[in-house]
A = this chain, B = another copy of it.
Amino acid sequence: MTTEDRRERIVAAADRLFYGRGIGQVGMDAVRDESGVSLKSIYREFPSKEDLVLAVLAHRHAMWTDGVDRAVARTTDPRERLLAVYDFLAEWFSERDFRGCGFINAFGELGAASQRVAEAVREHKASFQRHVDRLVAEAGGPASLGPQLAILAEGAQTTAAISGNAEAAESAREAARTLIESAL
């Protein structure tokens, strides 16, 4: 097993555990058991749990960005591309182990204690906002529309996580459609 393999295994295992149970509820022992990599090797790759958390967030960011990109790429119509974001959310929400946005969860838990985590979360959200802004610009919408659409996406995530109703994505999509039509 190569070093890269090990790194990926560790991050994938930690992601599953952190996301599923909450970061503070997961000990490094659990990461070892889930990944099959010894504590010694884990600590060689990630000098502290915080470093592992940051790696997990980076991994999640890549996955999320990929997912949105793929959904958006399914069409070329600028308006449909904007709405595709909510289609992606709908798919995500209906996954069996959906538990809200991992970044928001991490922020609520560690944002006050770890500046690095807080910064990673901020950057993730800023990146999403930039993406939405770009799609809005391509659709010829006003700059004020970007924040509104991003807020809808955020709200859908927490609503779906807490009340467990995946239809939040439909409501958000509907609202987005209204906002877009009213702005164009």
Chain A positions near chain B (C-beta within 8 angstroms): 20-22, 24-25, 99-101, 103-113, 121-122, 125-126, 129, 144, 147-148, 150-156, 158-159, 161-164, 167-168, 171-172, 174-175, 178-179, 182-183
CB distance from A129 to the nearest CB of B (A): 8
Query: In whole angstroms, what is the CA distance A24 to B106 when docked?
Result: 12
Known: A24-B109, A25-B112, A147-B159. 17 other contacts (CB 8 A): A20-B112, A21-B112, A21-B113, A24-B24, A103-B162, A108-B109, A121-B162, A122-B164, A125-B162, A144-B174, A148-B174, A151-B168, A155-B156, A175-B179, A178-B178, A178-B179, A178-B182
Assess the A107–B168 pair: CB atoms within 8 A.
Answer: no
Q: Within the complex, which residue of B22, B125, B175, B178 is in contact with A111, where a contact is CB–CB below 8 Å?
A: B22
Question: Taking the nearest CB of chain B, how far is it from the CB of A56, in angstroms?
Answer: 14
Q: Is A171 a contact of B144 with CB atoms below 8 Å?
A: yes
Q: Is the CB of A148 within 8 A of B171?
A: yes
CB <8 Å contact, B172 and A122 = no
| Interchain CB contact under 8 A, A158 and B99 | no
